[in-house]
Amino acid sequence: MNFADWVSAVTNSLSLGSIFILIALGLAITFGVMRVINMAHGDMLMLGAYTTLVVTDPHYLGLSLFWAIPISFVVVGFVGYLLEVGLVRFLYGRPLDTLLATWGVGMIVQQVILLRFRANLQPMHMPDELNGHVAIGEEVNIPIYRIFIVGITLLCLLAVYLWFYKTSFGLKSRAVVQNRAMASALGISTRRVDSLTFAFATGLAGVAGCILSALYNVKYNMGADYIVEAFMVVILGGVGQLSGSVAGGVVIGTGDSFVEKFLGNTSMAKVVVLLIVIAIICVRPSGLFATKERSYE
């Protein structure tokens, strides 16, 4: 590969890895706090993409993508809140039941969107100020939107860090993770922590769907295209580890882009990356960042 190909692979891997990080962060948060595997998480991404469609399409609201990002977070976060309050809350301690129930909810969401918007691909248009390129030399052009994706992901990571480590609610969340019974005995409302944490995690998936929608066409089953790799990111990084999700997203995003460049085949690139992940898990079964838990006598 020449220099232009290397730069293109790096920018593609950073933007793809950023999307994986956003999706996987929500999965890591819900599992880390509540030990819930949310199979509807990919459909929350799809819901964020369709929220962006409604917000930005001239036939609906006709607003800018910059408005669509916070609106997608709020709308999808509210749906996640209703999901936790109405269903997930009654299934704690029953991981298989939770997995099947959230999978069923995801199918319902897909069918509702299908009935409303039909199966046609919905084209999206990004703002003119994000539609250009940054030129490096004479041969290398980096799409501005790829840089924008990385920037939004960094802002979301900063928001997650501040929320978990600089607020009283984040302190309560970490207390619930370490010892739920003791946190409840000290007066922390674990139900409130669970519902708001679940809403925040699904809202991140909505943001991922929002920024992803401008890259590709929006479709009702697009969540299935990303949820498997998002779970791979969580497992590779270490289940429940936020820093591990960031590292796993970078590894898988980079692997997908670079292997695809070398092989020229998207399907084979995914196979090779999967084999790499399996090899890493064989060496480090707990992931790149092992979960540290307290033991109580």
CB atoms within 10 A of CB 230: 29
Residue 246 corresponds to which tokens in the numbers above? 């960031």
Cα end-to-end distance, the chain, whole Å? 58
DSSP three-state, residue 37: coil
What is the torsion angle, in degrees rounded to the nearest 10, for the CA atoms of residue 34, residue 207, residue 81 and residue 23? -20
pTM of the model as a whole: 0.89
pLDDT at 270: 81
Maximum pairwise Cα distance, the chain = 66
Residue 284 corresponds to which tokens in the numbers above? 């480090």
Secondary structure percentages of the chain, helix, strand, coil, to 5? 75, 5, 25
Between vectors from CA 84 to CA 83 and to CA 88, what angle results, nearest 5°?
Answer: 100
Asked whether the beta carbons of 188 and 172 are under 8 A apart, the reply is: yes
Q: What is the DSSP string of 193-232?
A: HHHHHHHHHHHHHHHHHHHHHTTS-B-TTTTHHHHHHHHH
Per-domain boundaries in the chain: 3-223
pLDDT at 100: 92
Give the separation between CA 281 and CA 275, rounded to whole angstroms.
10
Single out the residue of 263, 240, 257 nearest to residue 146, CA to CA. 257
pLDDT at 291: 57
| Tens digit of pLDDT at every position of the chain (297 positions) | 666 677 777 788 888 888 889 888 888 888 777 778 899 999 999 999 999 999 998 888 989 899 999 999 999 999 999 999 999 999 888 888 999 999 999 999 999 999 988 877 767 777 778 888 887 766 777 889 888 999 999 999 999 999 888 999 889 988 887 788 888 898 899 899 999 999 999 999 999 999 998 887 888 988 888 888 888 888 888 766 778 888 888 888 888 877 777 777 777 878 888 888 888 888 888 777 765 544 433
Cβ-based neighbours of 295, under 8 Å, separated by 6 or more:
none
